């Protein structure tokens, strides 16, 4: 058995999970809306895409809208936000875990499998392929696009097809603007072909919408030295937080952002210390005592508050010059301002959507372990890991991303058929995706620990819609944080589905039913769940496997999204 984590709740823990379907669900929904391919292109800057259009590429696409990455502007975090997945452990695969008080996670995952629940119908997750791409200086986007084409053209289902091309991120890191232009040329050519074939084969057009998650500096920078400044100021760079002077800093990848972890006692002092460094652009932290977010630069300090119920900000205090340029845009001091107005003012500064991104990045909005202090680096500076430096040494490198500034945080959304607002924060992208009901499509199984100590398995409609379903077998695996893998020991549950359930199709309406598990699994931090769907003859008709599942603490229903998935959401049940 695994060690029980600190996060385990006394009352009971809820677990929220996502399914990755390894088969195609028979669709009961009417095919009235057009077939739509959403194609994620990691790390393609808005400016590069605009240049590509000027050069005659992406002729069928509307001019791009600007997608504003979350902060830190990192791929795993950004795609999780864009795809509106549930919470992750941290912004990246390697992270500091508060409960365990240590750095966990495999660095290799940084170049491989995503840390968010992967909901893409197509994405190449092979670690070896990505490492090879780093070594060879780019990898083959042509191969990736050909594979994508085969998958899209195999059938006209699913109607909404989600795909992610990851090679572009590696190309941006290693080959800069020139490499990206070459890559976009191939993507454009392949897309034209896929759309033509689609029309020929299915007698219907294929709508394509491109989304990129952030930008890239496209210029190699200098690696910062953090050790010296920490030592000079009596901070102790360490791997475990034992006292107020202990600081954790690590870098996975070469990034223009640096995350620090420290106890509260000297947190604000650390933020001010880091802000004095020549490589520091803005430093952000949350002052728990004052219930205020601090933005510190060499010019001045801005303190702001956020009121979630009303989605409003208030700039409480400003010392010196405004580090984000918001007050220059006539945002008043000391008054509550709606987020829409802050966003509008912010896009005129060099830091689009700054307050919201800082607030979200420093709180457990989407990650369980947000950093205590985040330094957004000035252009020309980078925070780097030895491993990535080694990999990129083989073929050289170009720029990076992560920082708050527009230069690194503005991606695109551009479609053959639709227009979008000029500026779109990443967290709003999923709302622009027509007809995409995340709940119905993916969130088909959930474990619920009840007040009296039992555990229920809740089935959602996608599972019931599988043709020939007669029974389901579940395997529940628990994540071992010590060894950083899922336990081999598991519990097997067999559940028969009543024929009444099977025969009544939902016709697209969300529906669920609960089954009490014969044995109550211990609520742990992370679970993995596998299901085999069997027909009446005991043949396997579908296999389902969840990706990483994060358990949330039981806090009534207020934060738990299950109601939103299975019933129409009520006001207080909104989960972001």
R_g over Cα of the chain: 24
For residues 42 and 353, which CB has a smaller minimum distance to Zn ion in the complex?
A: 42
Whichever of 110 and 213 has its CB closer to Zn ion, that residue is 213
Query: CA-based angle 547:553:554, to the nearest 5?
Result: 115
CB-based burial label for 376 (10 Å; 0-12, 13-18, 19+)? buried
Residues 59-78 that bind Zn ion (CB under 5 A): 75
DSSP, residue by residue, 227-271: HHHHHHTT-EE-SS--STTEEEE--SSEESEEEEEE-STTHHHHH
Q: Give the position of tokens 């791997």.
A: 239
**Is 43 or 273 the residue whose CB approaches Zn ion more closely?**
43
DSSP per position, 344-399: HHHTTSSSTTHHHHHHHHHTTTSBSS--SEEEEEPTTEEEE-HHHHHHHHTT----
Q: How many C-beta atoms surround the C-beta of residue 100 within 10 A?
A: 17
Min separation Cβ 347 and Zn ion, Å: 21
| Distance from C-alpha of 32 to C-alpha of 435, rounded to nearest angstrom | 11
Stretch that binds Zn ion, among 39-47, 52-60, 156-164, 345-353 (CB under 5 A): 39-47
* Pick 12 or 72: Cβ nearer Zn ion: 72
Q: Using the rule CB under 5 A, give the single segment among 88-96, 212-220, 383-391, 431-439 that binds Zn ion.
A: 212-220
CB of 64 to Zn ion, least distance (A): 16
Q: Considering the complex, what minimum distance in angstroms separates the CB of residue 169 from Zn ion?
A: 5
Tokens of 471: 């029974």
- Here's the x/- map for Zn ion, 40-59, by CB under 5 A: it reads as --xx----------------
| Comparison of 213 and 246: residue with beta carbon closer to Zn ion | 213
Closer Cβ to Zn ion, 428 or 465, answer by number: 428
Contact region with Zn ion (CB under 5 A), list: 15-23, 29-37, 205-213, 540-548: 205-213
518 near 502, Cβ under 8 Å? no
Minimal CB distance residue for Zn ion: 75
Q: Which of residues 69-128 bind Zn ion (CB under 5 A)?
A: 75
Write the binding mask 168 to 187 for Zn ion: x where contact by CB under 5 A, - elsewhere: -x------------------
Is 428 a binding residue for Zn ion by CB under 5 A? The answer is no
* Residue appearing with tokens 């589905």: 497
392 is an interface residue for Zn ion by CB under 5 A: no
- Nearest distance from C-beta of residue 404 to Zn ion, angstroms: 16
Q: In the bound complex, what is the minimum distance in angstroms from residue 85's beta carbon to Zn ion?
A: 15
Residue 78 CB contacts under 8 Å (≥ 6 apart), including other chains: 69, 70, 213, 214, 411, 426
Provide the minimum distance between the beta carbon of 271 and Zn ion in the complex, in angstroms, as a whole number: 26
Report which of 251, 179, 263, 257 is spatially closest to residue 214, judged by C-alpha positions.
Answer: 257
213 binds Zn ion (CB under 5 A): yes
Contact stretch for Zn ion (CB under 5 A) within 123-131, 162-170, 276-284, 368-376: 162-170
> Which residues, at least 6 apart from 125, have a Cβ–Cβ distance to it below 8 Å?
112, 113, 114, 118
User: Contacts with Zn ion: how many residues (CB under 5 A)?
Assistant: 5
Rounded to whole angstroms, what are the CA distances from 99 to 5, 377, 525, 553?
Answer: 7, 28, 11, 14
Measured from the CB atom, is 40 or 523 closer to Zn ion? 40
Please identify, among the stretches 30-38, 211-219, 223-231, 349-357, the one whose residues bind Zn ion according to the rule CB under 5 A.
211-219
| Minimum separation from the CB atom of position 55 to Zn ion (A) | 23
Closest separation in Å from C-beta 75 to Zn ion: 3
Q: Are 309 and 321 in contact (CB under 8 A)?
A: no
Residue numbers at the binding site for Zn ion (CB under 5 A): 42-43, 75, 169, 213
């Amino acid at each position: 058995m695994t060690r029980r984590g600190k996060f385990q709740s006394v009352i009971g823990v809820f677990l929220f999970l996502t399914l990755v379907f390894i088969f195609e669900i028979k669709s009961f929904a009417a095919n009235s809306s057009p077939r739509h391919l959403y194609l994620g292109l990691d790390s393609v800057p808005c400016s590069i895409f605009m240049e590509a259009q000027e050069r005659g590429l992406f002729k069928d696409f509307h001019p791009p809208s600007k997608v504003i990455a979350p902060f830190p502007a990192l791929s795993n975090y950004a795609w999780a936000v864009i795809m509106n997945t549930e919470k992750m452990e941290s912004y990246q695969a390697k992270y500091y875990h508060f409960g365990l008080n240590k750095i966990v996670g495999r660095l290799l995952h940084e170049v491989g499998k995503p840390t968010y629940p992967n909901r893409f119908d197509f994405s190449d997750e092979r670690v070896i392929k990505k490492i090879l791409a780093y070594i060879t200086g780019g990898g083959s986007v042509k191969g990736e696009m050909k594979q994508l084409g085969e998958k899209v053209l195999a059938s006209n289902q699913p109607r909404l097809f989600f795909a992610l091309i990851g090679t572009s991120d590696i190309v941006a890191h290693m080959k800069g603007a020139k490499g990206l232009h070459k890559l976009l040329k191939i993507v454009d050519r392949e897309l034209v072909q896929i759309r033509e074939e689609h029309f020929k084969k299915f007698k219907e057009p294929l709508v394509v919408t491109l989304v990129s998650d952030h930008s890239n500096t496209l210029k190699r920078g200098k690696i910062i030295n953090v050790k010296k400044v920490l030592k000079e100021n009596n901070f102790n760079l360490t791997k475990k937080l034992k006292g107020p002077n202990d600081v954790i800093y690590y870098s996975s990848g070469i990034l223009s952002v640096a995350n620090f972890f420290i106890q509260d006692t000297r947190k604000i002092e650390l933020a001010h210390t880091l802000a004095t460094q020549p490589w520091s652009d803005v430093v952000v932290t949350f002052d728990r005592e004052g219930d205020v977010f601090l933005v510190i630069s060499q010019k001045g300090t801005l303190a702001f508050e956020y009121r979630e119920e009303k989605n409003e900000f208030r700039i409480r205090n400003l010392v010196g010059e405004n580090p984000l340029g918001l007050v220059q845009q006539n945002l008043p001091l000391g008054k509550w301002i709606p987020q829409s107005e802050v966003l509008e003012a912010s896009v005129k500064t060099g830091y689009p959507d700054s307050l919201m991104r800082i607030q979200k990045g420093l709180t457990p909005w989407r990650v369980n372990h947000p950093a205590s202090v985040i330094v957004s680096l000035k252009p020309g500076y980078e925070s780097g890991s030895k491993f990535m430096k080694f990999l990129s040494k083989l073929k050289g490198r170009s720029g990076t991303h992560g920082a708050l500034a527009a230069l690194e945080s503005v991606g695109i959304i551009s479609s053959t058929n639709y227009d979008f607002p000029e500026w779109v924060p990443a967290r709003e992208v999923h709302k622009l995706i027509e007809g995409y009901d995340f709940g119905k499509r993916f969130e088909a199984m959930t474990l619920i620990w009840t007040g009296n100590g039992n555990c229920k398995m809740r089935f959602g409609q996608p599972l019931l819609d599988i043709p020939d379903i007669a029974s389901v077998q579940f395997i529940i695996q628990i994540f071992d944080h010590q060894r950083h893998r899922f336990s081999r020991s598991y519990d097997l549950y067999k559940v028969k589905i009543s024929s009444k359930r099977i025969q009544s199709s939902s016709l697209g309406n969300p529906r669920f039913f609960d089954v009490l598990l014969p044995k109550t699994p211990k609520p742990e931090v992370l679970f993995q769940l596998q299901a085999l769907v069997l027909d009446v003859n005991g043949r396997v008709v579908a296999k389902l496997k969840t990706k990483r599942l994060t358990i949330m603490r039981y806090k009534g229903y207020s934060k738990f999204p299950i109601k939103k998935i299975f019933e129409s959401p009520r006001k207080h049940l909104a989960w972001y």
